[in-house]
Amino acid sequence: MIQLLVLAALAAPAAAHQTLWHPAMYGWAKDMSLPEADFTFDQWWFKGELNDPPAANETMSLPSGGTFHAQIASNVQFTHFPDHGYDYDDAKDSSALKAQDGNIMSGLKKDGSVHSADPYGTPIGETKDLKGCAIAIAYESDVTKIKPEDFTVITTNHSCAWYRDTDFQIPSGLPACPEGGCHCMWGWIHSAIAGSSQMFTIGYRCNITNPDLTAPSIPAPEIARKCPFDKNNCTVGSKQMHYWLQKERNNNFQESHDPPFYNEDYGFMNGAQTDLWEAHKAFGPVNESDWAPGTLATSTMNIAITPASSGPYATVNGSSTGGGTGASTPTPTPTPAIASTAATGNLTTAVVSTPGYEAAAQPTTDSTNDNTTPVATAIGSTAGNDTVAESTLAEDASVTTPASTPTIASSGKKKCSKRRRRSRTH
């Protein structure tokens, strides 16, 4: 009984968080699933474990053009790797477990350790709150020479962290590592509505197998810009990892309620990052429109909005990359919305032609003449249903009315309302 209690006490703290477990990680023999929040650089960089490197014979191999099969869990004992002193054979022998499953001692059966608001057991494809994780690489064998900005994200999985067995697609054509190998880093930042503000970064010794011996070096990565609405604002080309909410060396300065993610909201396509060698786009100073606006208050504006059923937001060499997988090249500026109106009965409805949305105007009443006046708001899009702009119908907008529908002559004379006629009789 005492032994069970001791095991429970040891296992429970690790049940609240996740990491990608591999014997080639720095700090392998320790609890590496704990998050980083408000840490000094020495505390969060490689989890403070630069002096605890992996065994000399341990390397995490990433196959260029292939798939890396990762094991993500709250405790190493829920993976297929050797024991750390606990006895959870049932967890190690299981397959396709959710990332925190198997922690029998803590009784954790919900979704706490993956920090998602999605209900337990939700199938991939139906989840709403998974924000993705990433693997990055630095082509340097001496860990003491590596800086945070040296790591380039080469693959992401937008459904991470959810299942223990998680696949990462590795780009083809990667150059070979230098003698002594490379270093890699796994990164994860969870949803803001499913846990406290924190990030997870783990360092590994790694190597690229099946490299392209003639491939040029990957260009120096740049900071991944936030672009959930305007895909023209996405960083194109190699991108850094997110370093956020620490005391030192952050490259992202968003507030604690606005965490950055490894998904299309920051230009990371799902899977292999195939834009590593594309030229970085030159940007001007950051302005307010670069950051995510608040929820569009359509109810207060009386606008009915219908998202486009499909549509890619980027093209490469004339072909579509598919919607939602990450921009490879900036999209062209969309054609301005063209407003037209058509009368239906006594209600004039404005239809705004845009690449991504349609806006139906609700009528407003002119109190001076009881005329129904359409007021339309055009909802624009940059081929990804993301940029929101407002415009009003031009005064000379063409109006077509059915023959049976009376129209109001523009002779300058206004028909008196019933209210005005009554006021003159008193």
- 247 and 168 in one domain? yes
CA distances 23 to 57, 186, 287, 300, Å, are 10, 14, 44, 55
412 located within any domain: no
Q: What are phi and psi of 98, to 5 degrees?
A: -65, 155
Q: Bridge partners of 36?
A: 199
Q: What is the CA radius of gyration of the chain?
A: 28
- 68 and 168 in one domain? yes
Is there a contact between 313 and 231 (Cβ–Cβ < 8 Å)? yes
Domain of 352, in residue numbers = 298-310+324-400
272 located within any domain: yes
CATH number at residue 76: 2.70.50
Give the angle subtended at the CA of 213 by the CAs of 207 and 215, to the nearest 5°. 95
Is there a contact between 132 and 259 (Cβ–Cβ < 8 Å)? no
- 261 and 328 in one domain? no
424 located within any domain: no
Q: What are phi and psi of 233, to 5 degrees?
A: -90, -5
Whole-number pLDDT of residue 127: 77
Is there a contact between 188 and 168 (Cβ–Cβ < 8 Å)? no
CA distances 317 to 142, 249, 408, 418, Å, are 38, 37, 52, 64
CA distances 282 to 75, 287, 375, Å, are 43, 14, 38
Residues of the chain with pLDDT under 70: 1-16, 82-116, 120, 280-426
426 located within any domain: no
- 167 and 109 in one domain? yes
- 123 and 226 in one domain? yes
Whole-number pLDDT of residue 178: 98
4 located within any domain: no
Q: Which pair of tokens denotes residue 254?
A: 């968003």
- 278 and 329 in one domain? no
Whole-number pLDDT of residue 17: 80
Name which of 101, 80, 98, 97 is nearest 89 in CA terms.
Answer: 80
Name which of 48, 14, 50 is nearest 33 in CA terms.
Answer: 14
Q: In whole angstroms, what is the distance from residue 238 CA to residue 236 CA?
A: 7
Whole-number pLDDT of residue 388: 37
384 located within any domain: yes
Q: What are phi and psi of 403, to 5 degrees?
A: -65, -30
- 362 and 245 in one domain? no
Give the angle subtended at the CA of 241 by the CAs of 261 and 291, to the nearest 5°. 45
- 115 and 240 in one domain? yes
8 located within any domain: no
Instruction: Please name the amino acid found at residue 147.
Output: K
- 277 and 128 in one domain? yes
Q: Which pair of tokens denotes residue 172?
A: 């083809």
Whole-number pLDDT of residue 28: 93
When divided into structural domains, the chain yields a total of 2
Instruction: Please name the amino acid found at residue 267.
Output: G
Strands (E), 113-256: 133-138, 152-157, 165-169, 182-188, 200-209
| Preceding amide of 161 cis, omega within 30 | yes
| pTM listed for this prediction | 0.61
What DSSP character marks residue 89? H
Instruction: Please name the amino acid found at residue 190.
Output: H
- 333 and 218 in one domain? no
Residue corresponding to tokens 């339309």: 376
248 located within any domain: yes
End-to-end CA distance of the chain: 95
Whole-number pLDDT of residue 191: 84
CB half-sphere exposure, 135, CA atoms < 13 A: 33
- 175 and 56 in one domain? yes
- 125 and 102 in one domain? yes
Whole-number pLDDT of residue 188: 94
